Amino acid sequence: MIVRVAALILFFSTTALIHTVEASHLISLTLVDVGDNITFDCKASEKDLKFVNWYKQSLGYMVEIVGSVILGQPTISEKFKGSHFAITIKGSRYDLTIFNISKEDEATYLCHIGTTYSQKFISGTFLAVNDDKQQKSLYLKQHPNSRLVHQGETVNLQCSLLSKNKEKSQCPTKPSMYWFRTESERFHPGIIYTQRNISVKDLDRSCSYSLSVRDSSDAGVYYSAVVACGSIVIGEGTKVEMSMCFVFSGYFKYI
């Protein structure tokens, strides 16, 4: 299963903190299962293109270069040679593919290009890897699972960061919590709901958060995400649907 959601995240801190950035630096969040394959796009149409670099940054670690394209020749870095990474060139696209994904591949992947006079990041994705076999000490419970709303109604989305350790709560002291929304026809990519309007209440074995979605017309699936214990924990999502109200012969009909 591969799920893509839009986000405003950059993982450039060795302390594994998430920071929001300007819209010009949007990256996406992609959820995959162990064993999946994924391809990240990087389109560079610059005429005087000199190089393309793909970088990887795991949570809490420095940036590493996965591979490069120099003068039209793709090369995988020594550390990643013989592994499951590949760079393919298709016209003006310089895509990075990861085959048979493992938990160790969970990281931010960034495409960086350079011309004679400038350098810039073209695209970026945080790859979150779900491993059902891995025993997780923390997990996110979202509720409700779905919600039908009317125009102008306020929606309250809840998530709880729970610990399976009965002896000691493993909630972060200052949780970094975010809400993401899946892309849809009405969704402008890059919208993120952060700690604004979030209430935090510390419990014995959990931390609770509440987020109000003011615009009920923004239907979609909302995911909560928390940075904790050196990794990102992602909820299963809450589906928000809009109920349409029409008037027929003096009575209301809800769809």
| 1-29 residue pLDDT tens | 665 554 433 333 322 323 333 334 556 77
Every domain range in the chain assigned CATH 2.60.40.10: 3-130, 138-242
CATH of domain 138-242: 2.60.40.10
The reply to whether CATH 3.40.50.1820 applies to domain 3-130 is: no
Q: Is 188 within 8 Å of 179 (Cβ atoms)?
A: no
Q: Tell me, what's the pLDDT at 56?
A: 96
Q: Tell me, what's the pLDDT at 59?
A: 76
Give pLDDT < 50 ranges for the chain.
Answer: 6-24, 169, 172-173, 184-205, 246-255
Distance (Å, rounded) from C-alpha 76 to C-alpha 3?
A: 27
Token duo for residue 175: 């949780």
